Amino acid sequence: MRVSIYDHHHEDNDKAVDANNKFEMISGSSDAPSGNKAITTKSSSTGGKNNKEGDHNKKKHKYAFQTRSQVDILDDGYRWRKYGQKTVKNSKFPRSYYRCTHKGCNVKKQIQRLSKDEEVVMTTYEGIHTHSIDKSSDDFDNILRQMQTYTAF
Protein backbone atom coordinates (compact mmCIF):
# COMPACT_ATOMS: atom_id res chain seq x y z
CA MET A 1 0.00 0.00 0.00
CA ARG A 2 2.83 2.30 -0.62
CA VAL A 3 0.64 5.33 -0.70
CA SER A 4 2.30 8.58 0.01
CA ILE A 5 0.86 11.84 1.07
CA TYR A 6 1.42 13.32 -2.31
CA ASP A 7 -0.16 10.31 -3.82
CA HIS A 8 -3.23 10.97 -1.86
CA HIS A 9 -5.55 13.58 -3.18
CA HIS A 10 -5.29 16.18 -0.58
CA GLU A 11 -7.53 19.11 -0.74
CA ASP A 12 -5.77 21.69 1.29
CA ASN A 13 -2.09 22.34 0.81
CA ASP A 14 -0.02 20.98 -1.96
CA LYS A 15 2.15 19.25 0.55
CA ALA A 16 0.69 17.53 3.50
CA VAL A 17 3.23 19.24 5.67
CA ASP A 18 3.27 22.97 5.97
CA ALA A 19 5.47 25.32 7.90
CA ASN A 20 3.24 24.77 10.83
CA ASN A 21 4.69 21.40 11.62
CA LYS A 22 6.88 21.24 14.63
CA PHE A 23 9.14 18.50 15.82
CA GLU A 24 10.50 17.78 19.20
CA MET A 25 13.19 15.39 20.32
CA ILE A 26 12.35 12.91 22.93
CA SER A 27 15.24 11.30 24.70
CA GLY A 28 14.23 7.79 25.49
CA SER A 29 15.24 7.10 29.04
CA SER A 30 13.21 4.17 30.13
CA ASP A 31 12.74 1.32 27.79
CA ALA A 32 10.95 -1.97 27.92
CA PRO A 33 12.65 -4.30 25.46
CA SER A 34 10.36 -7.23 25.77
CA GLY A 35 12.39 -9.38 23.48
CA ASN A 36 10.54 -12.30 24.94
CA LYS A 37 8.24 -14.00 22.55
CA ALA A 38 4.59 -13.94 23.23
CA ILE A 39 3.70 -17.57 22.91
CA THR A 40 5.63 -20.19 24.73
CA THR A 41 7.49 -23.04 23.06
CA LYS A 42 9.82 -20.93 21.09
CA SER A 43 13.03 -20.29 22.94
CA SER A 44 13.55 -23.90 23.81
CA SER A 45 16.61 -24.56 21.74
CA THR A 46 19.91 -23.22 22.87
CA GLY A 47 19.71 -20.42 20.44
CA GLY A 48 22.14 -18.25 22.31
CA LYS A 49 23.36 -16.92 19.01
CA ASN A 50 20.71 -14.30 18.99
CA ASN A 51 22.83 -12.06 21.12
CA LYS A 52 23.31 -9.15 18.85
CA GLU A 53 24.27 -5.69 20.01
CA GLY A 54 23.08 -5.40 23.53
CA ASP A 55 23.98 -1.83 24.27
CA HIS A 56 21.08 -1.55 26.59
CA ASN A 57 22.94 1.01 28.55
CA LYS A 58 23.24 3.40 25.68
CA LYS A 59 20.86 6.16 24.90
CA LYS A 60 17.92 5.14 22.83
CA HIS A 61 17.31 6.89 19.59
CA LYS A 62 13.84 8.19 19.80
CA TYR A 63 12.57 11.13 17.86
CA ALA A 64 9.06 12.37 17.79
CA PHE A 65 7.52 14.71 15.29
CA GLN A 66 4.20 16.32 15.02
CA THR A 67 3.06 16.85 11.51
CA ARG A 68 -0.04 18.54 10.33
CA SER A 69 -1.45 16.17 7.80
CA GLN A 70 -4.70 14.68 6.74
CA VAL A 71 -3.26 11.26 6.31
CA ASP A 72 -1.65 9.02 8.86
CA ILE A 73 0.79 7.43 6.47
CA LEU A 74 3.77 9.73 6.36
CA ASP A 75 6.09 8.17 3.86
CA ASP A 76 9.61 9.21 4.57
CA GLY A 77 11.12 7.17 1.81
CA TYR A 78 11.63 4.00 3.78
CA ARG A 79 9.58 0.86 3.65
CA TRP A 80 7.43 0.29 6.70
CA ARG A 81 5.58 -2.84 7.64
CA LYS A 82 2.76 -2.41 10.06
CA TYR A 83 3.01 -4.88 12.90
CA GLY A 84 0.36 -3.69 15.27
CA GLN A 85 -2.40 -1.29 16.00
CA LYS A 86 -3.65 -0.45 19.45
CA THR A 87 -6.03 2.10 20.78
CA VAL A 88 -4.65 4.43 23.38
CA LYS A 89 -6.76 5.51 26.24
CA ASN A 90 -5.87 9.13 25.82
CA SER A 91 -6.76 9.25 22.20
CA LYS A 92 -9.87 8.28 20.43
CA PHE A 93 -7.75 7.23 17.50
CA PRO A 94 -5.73 4.03 17.35
CA ARG A 95 -1.96 4.05 17.30
CA SER A 96 -0.15 2.28 14.52
CA TYR A 97 3.17 0.52 14.92
CA TYR A 98 5.44 0.23 11.94
CA ARG A 99 8.78 -1.44 11.41
CA CYS A 100 11.38 -1.07 8.72
CA THR A 101 11.30 -4.06 6.42
CA HIS A 102 14.98 -3.87 5.76
CA LYS A 103 17.39 -6.59 6.72
CA GLY A 104 19.08 -5.70 9.93
CA CYS A 105 17.28 -2.41 10.00
CA ASN A 106 15.28 -2.67 13.16
CA VAL A 107 13.92 0.80 13.05
CA LYS A 108 10.51 1.26 14.53
CA LYS A 109 7.99 3.93 13.76
CA GLN A 110 4.93 4.84 15.70
CA ILE A 111 2.11 6.91 14.33
CA GLN A 112 -0.64 8.34 16.40
CA ARG A 113 -3.25 10.94 15.67
CA LEU A 114 -3.86 13.46 18.37
CA SER A 115 -7.36 13.45 19.70
CA LYS A 116 -7.05 17.09 20.49
CA ASP A 117 -6.25 17.93 16.90
CA GLU A 118 -7.32 15.21 14.59
CA GLU A 119 -5.43 16.89 11.82
CA VAL A 120 -2.15 16.44 13.64
CA VAL A 121 -0.34 13.15 13.64
CA MET A 122 2.57 12.38 15.91
CA THR A 123 5.25 10.24 14.34
CA THR A 124 7.76 8.68 16.67
CA TYR A 125 10.91 7.14 15.23
CA GLU A 126 13.04 4.70 17.13
CA GLY A 127 16.42 3.57 15.92
CA ILE A 128 18.62 4.46 13.00
CA HIS A 129 18.35 3.19 9.46
CA THR A 130 21.35 1.25 8.28
CA HIS A 131 20.52 1.62 4.64
CA SER A 132 20.08 4.54 2.32
CA ILE A 133 16.85 5.84 1.04
CA ASP A 134 15.77 4.59 -2.28
CA LYS A 135 13.28 7.25 -2.99
CA SER A 136 14.03 10.68 -4.26
CA SER A 137 12.44 13.72 -5.78
CA ASP A 138 10.13 14.02 -2.88
CA ASP A 139 9.46 17.24 -1.11
CA PHE A 140 8.47 15.36 1.94
CA ASP A 141 11.38 13.02 1.73
CA ASN A 142 13.65 15.98 1.54
CA ILE A 143 12.30 17.35 4.73
CA LEU A 144 12.47 14.05 6.48
CA ARG A 145 16.01 13.48 5.31
CA GLN A 146 17.14 16.76 6.71
CA MET A 147 15.40 15.87 9.88
CA GLN A 148 17.42 12.70 10.07
CA THR A 149 20.65 14.62 9.84
CA TYR A 150 19.36 16.80 12.55
CA THR A 151 18.84 13.94 14.88
CA ALA A 152 21.73 11.85 13.69
CA PHE A 153 24.02 13.33 16.27
Partner DNA sequence: CGTATTTGACCTGCGC
Partner DNA sequence: GCGCAGGTCAAATACG
Judged by beta carbon, residue 31 or residue 118, the one nearer DNA is 31
CB contact set of 48 (below 8 Å; sequence gap of 6+): none
**Looking at 9-17, 75-83, 129-137, 144-152, which segment touches DNA (CB under 7 A)?**
75-83
Task: State how far the Cα of 13 lies from the Cα of 148, in Å rounded to an integer.
Answer: 24
- The yes or no reply on residue 57 touching DNA (CB under 7 A) is no
Q: Which of 9, 14, 39, 44 lies at the binding interface for DNA (CB under 7 A)?
A: 39
Kindly state the helix (H) or strand (E) to which residue 95 belongs, with its residue range.
strand 94-100
CB of 135 to DNA, least distance (A): 14
**Of 86, 100, 94, whose CA–CA distance to 148 is shortest?**
100
What is the smallest separation between the CB atom of 30 and DNA, expressed in angstroms? 7
Phi then psi for 11, rounded to 5 degrees? -115, -25
In the stretch 103-122, what mask flags binding to DNA with x, by CB under 7 A? -----x-x------------
Distance CA 78, CA 99 (A): 10
Which positions touch DNA (CB under 7 A)?
1-2, 30, 32, 34, 36-40, 42, 79-90, 95, 97, 99, 101, 108, 110
